[in-house]
Chains A and B, each alone.
Chain A
Amino acid sequence: MTGSPSGLRRTAAIIGVGHTDWRGDWARTRTGEAVTDSAGYAVRSFRNALADAGIFRDTIDGLIVGPTTAYERVGELLGIEPRWGGQADAANAVIQAAMAIECGLAETIALVYGNDQRSRGTQYGGPQAMGAENYLSYVYHAPWGLTSQGAIYALMFRAYQAERGITDAELGEVAVAQRRWAQLNPAAIMQKPLTVEGYLDSPFICEPLRLPDYCMVNDGGVALIVTSADRAKALVERPVFIEAVARQDVNLRASSLEPRVTEFYLPAQQRAAARLFDSAGIGPEDVDLVQIYDSFSVHVPLALEGYGYCAVGDAGKFLREAGIGPGGALPVNSSGGHLSESYMQGWNHQIESVRQLRGECGARQIPRCRYVHYSSDIAGKAISILYGR
């Protein structure tokens, strides 16, 4: 039913991570300065990841770039002539790298992402809603005024709220908890204190969602170096292993948004969860940190229920009583995530996972962190990666 366990169990590991100066570039781009372009952010983060891994560039024989930069141009700028390459979003980049390594197509792969979305004035709503070229739903419903990605999540959350009873204040716990994590993270952009009262007083953007439910839009880059498990053990002191991966897509009736507004992706997440945990031989109770793709806060309660961190229908209570912030029962998005650290389209979640497992997160370090689960449920794809040390 769930398929045979993934063959990617601990066959590849991350040996280097890097990112750009999100806070500094946020301040500079907000004054109108063009710090660099998307490829420039990718290059800067690659340099940092290479230094973090302590390897030379000529060790790299594979390259994956994010969706926001051209593959050939980034390869040219980095001076890398790989024997295998590709272009993918964060979760698929990690999975494809592990697959390529397992198949022997490459041994040490650079995963590089850069995005100048803030300085370029990218909009995820309105006349140039990004993603429209790939997803019919983003343009199809525009004549009726459904003109933003946030509105799609607002539609999803309103129906979810009606069915499961989560309150506005309980959803607010997501933004509040992530802001508290961000305050422990010197790299996070959003540091101002946020309370549930402050959340409820914040303006609606697309009701029922308020401003703190939306990710920020900022410039930056992220890079990771992935290699075979054996090589990782030889190269670095604390490799972080890809323990297991799982994915379940929902394509039927996607353009009418039906799977979002009637199922909230729950069946897809449950199938992916069964595969992930079967493959790793652990359960949700063994996970120390959950990293959830959070373009909108809504992703968090859906994933908590979908992956079995709480019972279906209990996410609101879980957020309020158990807690996902510092000191809470289940740490979620310990860097502040897209809502408060940096909107790097899932890439910053990967490097935070690595740093927590290495134990180098200072004030926000999760004690005895053994397993980190990354979940992404964007555009009908429930994708999970389990990291371990």
Chain B
Amino acid sequence: METGGAPACPSPVMGVYDRPFWDSIQARRCALQRCGQCGTFRYPPGPVCGSCLSLDSEWTPISGCGEIVSWVRFHKQYLPAFPIPYEVIAVRLAENPVMISTLAAPPSDGRWIGRAVTLTYHRRDDGLVLPCFTLAESGRPEGHPDAPLA
């Protein structure tokens, strides 16, 4: 990058209920709200359980296990922070919510749907830690877990 440094990355939505989620990510212990009444996990965070309307919830660490349900590859660049090509995935978490994320060290074969993934963390140039995933079969991502995404 030039002297201006890395291009600005989009900031997370940070409403009243988002702070504990992002705090858990920065601590690398991703937690989601779990309904205190019916046990349903909630994502994105919010003030009420969409299943039973209970206002009670507890921030609960998640297993980090999931499965890819879809993915795309960007060929048009919209933001300098995301040079093309790059991939975005949709993961069905073991706790049920779908999470939009990225694959650390994505393999090239492209047959990703149905593949098991494991949660890991990626530290952006601006210091923010983001949750991302590795294919479960490939074990830990190559190199340091903070290595930039491909």
Q: State the A residues within 8 Å of B (CB).
A: 123, 125-127, 136, 139-148, 151, 154-156, 158-159, 162, 203-208, 252-253, 255-258, 261-262
Contact = CB atoms under 8 A, between A and B. Distances in A.
B144 interface: no
B4 interface: no
Nearest to B68: A159
Interface of B: 9-13, 43-44, 50, 69-76, 78-79, 81-82, 85-86, 88, 90, 92, 97-102, 113-114, 128, 130, 132
B71 A158 contact: yes
B75 A206 contact: yes
A258 B98 contact: yes
A65 to B, nearest CB: 30
Contact of B71 (A142, A148, A155, A203): A155
A155 B70 contact: yes
Nearest to B13: A140
Given A143-B12, A162-B70, 12 more contacts: A123-B78, A143-B9, A143-B10, A143-B128, A154-B72, A206-B73, A206-B76, A207-B75, A255-B44, A256-B98, A256-B99, A256-B100
Nearest to B22: A143
B97 A162 contact: no
Given A256-B43, A261-B69, A145 B90 contact: no
A360 B1 CA distance: 59
Contacts of B100: 140-141, 144, 146, 155, 256-257
Contacts of B114: 162
Nearest to B114: A162
6 contacts: A143-B9, A144-B102, A146-B100, A155-B100, A162-B114, A261-B69
Contacts of B13: 136, 139-140
Nearest to B11: A143
A35 to B, nearest CB: 27
A261 B12 contact: no
A141 B50 CA distance: 20
Task: Describe A's contact surface by its main secondary structure.
Answer: mixed
A145 B76 contact: no
Contacts of B70: 155-156, 158-159, 162, 261
A126 B78 contact: yes
Contacts of A204: 73, 75
Contacts of B101: 144
Nearest to A148: B78
Contacts of A151: 72, 74, 88
A158 B44 contact: no
B90 A155 contact: yes
Contacts of A156: 70
Q: Which of B71, B90, B100 has most chain A Cβ within 10 Å?
A: B100
B20 to A, nearest CB: 16
A145 B11 CA distance: 11
A374 B134 CA distance: 43
A91 to B, nearest CB: 25
A205 B73 CA distance: 9
Contact of B78 (A147, A208, A258): A147
Nearest to B50: A252
Contact of A145 (B44, B75, B86, B113): B86
Contacts of A144: 88, 100-102, 130, 132
Nearest to A147: B78
A141 to B, nearest CB: 4
B69 A206 contact: no
A123 to B, nearest CB: 8
A211 to B, nearest CB: 9
B113 A159 contact: yes
A207 B73 contact: yes
A257 B97 CA distance: 10
A158 B72 contact: yes
B16 to A, nearest CB: 13
A255 B69 CA distance: 16
A147 B79 contact: yes
A145 B74 contact: yes
A258 B86 CA distance: 22
Contacts of B73: 204, 206-207
A147 B77 CA distance: 10
Contacts of A252: 50
Contact of B10 (A125, A147, A253, A261): A147
